[in-house]
Amino acid sequence: MAAPKPLIRPEDITICESTQQMISKARRDGVELFFDRAAEMKPCPIGADSACCKHCSMGPCRMNPSDPYRKVGVCGASIDTISARNFGRMVAAGTAAHTDHGMAMLELFRGVIEGTITDFQIKDHLKLHEVAASLDIETNGRAIEEVARDVYRELEKTYTQVEGEIPLVKRVPAKTLETWRREGIVPRGAMREIMEMMHRTAIGVDQDYENLAKQISRTALADGWGGSMVSTDISDILFGTPAPVEISVDLGVLKEDQVNIIVHGHEPSLLESMMVSTAAPSLQAMAREAGAKGINLVGMCCSGLEVLSRHGIPHAGNFSSTEAALVTGAVDAMTVDIQCIKQDLHKVAGCYDTVFVTTNYRAKIEGALHIELDEHDPLKCTDEIVIKAIGRFKNRSQPIEIPRRVSRGVHGFSHEYIKYMLGGSFRGGYEPLNDNIINGRIRGVAGVVGCTNPRSKQDFSHVELVKELIKNDVLVVQTGCSQVALAKAGLTTPGAAAMAGPGLAEVCETVGIPPVLGLGACVDNSRILMAVAEMVKTGGLGDAIADLPVAGCAPEWMSEKAIAIGQYFVASGVYTVFGHTFPITRETKFEKLLFAGLERQGLGTWGFADSPQDMARLMLAHIDKKRRELGIDK
Ligand code: XCC
Ligand code: SF4
């Protein structure tokens, strides 16, 4: 009999000490985690390089990634066709995820305007007016409902329009938009672009990788400047635009003597409703009668990021820590909606008697309890979950072990706030951003975003990359699981300015901000688009987004959504580096197009690196190149 394989040490799986502690506990408890399966299941080397196609039943056809032009598929499809089609379908899936989420927010907004939904309101009138103004909708002297109706009608076109240009391209800097028009990649409407992407990647349709690449960009742009941006705008209008607030992050936010409820997923409405339920005096009293000191509501992943900055709700951790949270035994209920919800959470929850509830009709899990959140009566769902959580608290039978770690940090930097904070506008005020870039105190701006992935050491590349960037005077903006990684590592405090280079440190100390600014969930990458558009419009740094000394990175990406995001940043003009893996065959024409050709068309370009030092090196080299081209390098 073969000897059992030695287990990977927790400290080699993650740098998150709380998650390390829970990996050890899970092993003692005999509970399998996704880290274990990642170690067990080696990725298929052909699939990893995107060198196979299963778009029809003449295949599946497999190419040889080390000799990619030796064979073609049964239909004759070349490696470039095959990998461009695979890439296009990833972009379509990622775009569909963000735009469907955005559409759900828009439907909620419509219900609020029509008065059929009364548990949510238009909370941020100022934001509504700003969004209206950006769409050339008259606001002067008009009732808020009228303006809201027009905003709704206009934004709906993001999805349903079949010709023309999606409404939010009005926010794109003129020269960038001109490039898109020349290349024929301005999105018409998200549904149309996703549909066409799926059509063109089917057997026997578009078999020219350059032509496919255009639709890939057009689809991705319907995400960034479409579905995601609508989602951010509407969420701000309904729930409030974030402003900086100090938050606790890490598994130590769970409380042994309270009823712990975790909300994990992506739609802010579930957590917003859960906040109302957990604050209800009757349910608070019920919790106390059960012996609890109170009800502790905690967010995870993007749901958590949506509300942490709006309401100061604590955050337990990112994608790779969702099972770890359950392993504490302290979670009385975990409730989920859409996206990044591992099917095995249901099973792990079962091992610890945690109430696990799916709430969205789009995302059920076989065997899991489903209590649907109906926006017309959201408290019905969330009250019931709270009652179940209290029941579980009362009957807790498992030993509880909560890691003690908690990091405090400041989050909630909407692009509106960055603008205000750095001088009323990005230029022409007190210590404005553009001036500090031009005078060299800030070398450039980097977006570090995206997932964690059990195939790379959790959080490690995020943290090392960001440390390297700020040391080199690069201001970092963040979203998604990356933001949580840096929060846990303590880099979202103003004190972290001490780790920044002298120029960036001076700016941070003067303004009183951390060198790492958390902007929210993955859909809030649209805030980064708005920030770079604002930088161009402010002046002094070129005419197009592609001229700016900025770069982006998703060091530990895993989701198709990340590919869609990466592609919309690239198509918008941003140099975007992905870490550890990239779904493409090397030394092919399609690879050269993504990694060099798009830049020649006036767009941005993709980059790839396996170590955080190399990611930083590539990003800094790009920022310096742009500074030289702008004539502002010293
Ligand atoms: Fe998911 Fe949005 Fe990725 Fe995190 S970063 S693993 S997509 S939760 Ni958005
Ligand atoms: Fe093979 Fe072509 Fe069918 Fe793909 S579409 S599986 S390459 S025959």
Among protein residues, the one with the nearest Cα to ligand 1's atom 3 is: 451
Q: What is the pLDDT of residues 296-332, one digit of tens each?
A: 999 999 999 998 889 999 999 999 999 999 999 999 9
Locate 532 and state its tokens: 């770079």
Predicted confidence band at 7 (pLDDT cuts at 50, 70, 90)? confident
Burial of 281 (0-12, 13-18, 19+ CB in 10 A): exposed
Best mutation site among 50, 78, 82 for ligand 2 pocket (most ligand atoms within 8 Å of CB): 82
Whole-number pLDDT of residue 419: 77
Whether residue 192 is found in the same domain as residue 274 = no
Q: Among 579, 531, 529, which residue's Cα sits nearest to residue 558?
A: 579
Mean pLDDT of 180-184: 98
**Residues ≥6 apart with Cβ < 8 Å to 155:** 106, 135, 167, 168, 230, 233, 234
In degrees, rounded to 5, the angle at the alpha carbon of residue 400 between the alpha carbons of residues 399 and 401 is: 125
Mean pLDDT of 37-65: 97
Last residue of a domain, one of 394, 422, 441: 394
Q: For residue 77, how far is its CA from the centre of ligand 2 (angstroms)?
A: 7
Whole-number pLDDT of residue 423: 57
- Neighbour tally for 78: CB within 10 Å: 20
**Residues ≥6 apart with Cβ < 8 Å to 185:** 214, 217, 218, 221, 571
Using the structure block, give the residue that is written with the tokens 């989050």.
411
Residue range(s) defining the domain that contains residue 90: 79-239
Q: Among 332, 323, 316, 328, which residue's Cα sits nearest to residue 260?
A: 332
Locate 421 and state its tokens: 């904070």
Ligand 1, residues at Cβ distance < 6 Å? 266, 301-302, 318-319, 340, 450-451, 480-481, 521-522, 559, 561-562
Whole-number pLDDT of residue 4: 65
Q: How far apart are CA 48 and CA 62, in angstroms?
A: 12
Whether residue 233 is found in the same domain as residue 256 = no
Whole-number pLDDT of residue 422: 65
DSSP, collapsed to helix, strand or coil, labels residue 250 as: coil
Whether residue 364 is found in the same domain as residue 431 = no
Q: How far apart are CA 143 and CA 542, in angstroms?
A: 39
Query: What's the total number of domains in the chain?
Result: 3
Q: What is the DSSP letter of 42?
A: P
Which of ligand 2's atoms lies nearest the C-alpha of 203?
5
Which of ligand 1's atoms lies nearest the C-alpha of 562?
7
Contact predicate 190/160, CB 8 Å: no
Q: What is the pLDDT of residues 423-482, one digit of tens each?
A: 555 544 445 889 999 999 999 999 999 999 999 999 999 999 999 999 999 999 999 999
Whether residue 281 is found in the same domain as residue 387 = yes
DSSP, collapsed to helix, strand or coil, labels residue 216 as: helix
Whether residue 618 is found in the same domain as residue 584 = yes
Q: Among 534, 284, 514, which residue's Cα sits nearest to residue 426?
A: 534
Using the structure block, give the residue that is written with the tokens 């829970």.
22
Whether residue 519 is found in the same domain as residue 610 = yes
Which of ligand 2's atoms lies nearest the C-alpha of 81?
7
Whether residue 213 is found in the same domain as residue 340 = no
Q: Among 552, 593, 590, 555, which residue's Cα sits nearest to residue 574?
A: 552
Q: For residue 482, how far is its CA from the centre of ligand 1 (angstroms)?
A: 9
Classify residue 91: in a domain, yes or no.
Answer: yes
Whether residue 536 is found in the same domain as residue 473 = yes
CATH label of the domain that carries residue 339: 3.40.50.2030
Q: Among 250, 330, 258, 389, which residue's Cα sits nearest to residue 25?
A: 330
Using the structure block, give the residue that is written with the tokens 């955050």.
315
Whole-number pLDDT of residue 3: 63
Classify residue 62: in a domain, yes or no.
Answer: no
Query: Count of alpha carbons within 13 Å of 132, Cβ hemisphere only?
Result: 22
Q: What is the pLDDT of residues 498-536, one digit of tens each?
A: 999 999 999 999 888 999 999 999 999 999 999 999 999
Q: How far apart are CA 266 and CA 341, in angstroms?
A: 10
Locate 560 and state its tokens: 């198709």
Phi, psi of 259 (to 5 degrees): -75, 115
Whole-number pLDDT of residue 429: 45
Determine whether the shortest distance from the Cβ of 60 to ligand 2 is under 6 A: yes
Phi, psi of 534 (to 5 degrees): -65, -40
Mean pLDDT of 388-402: 96
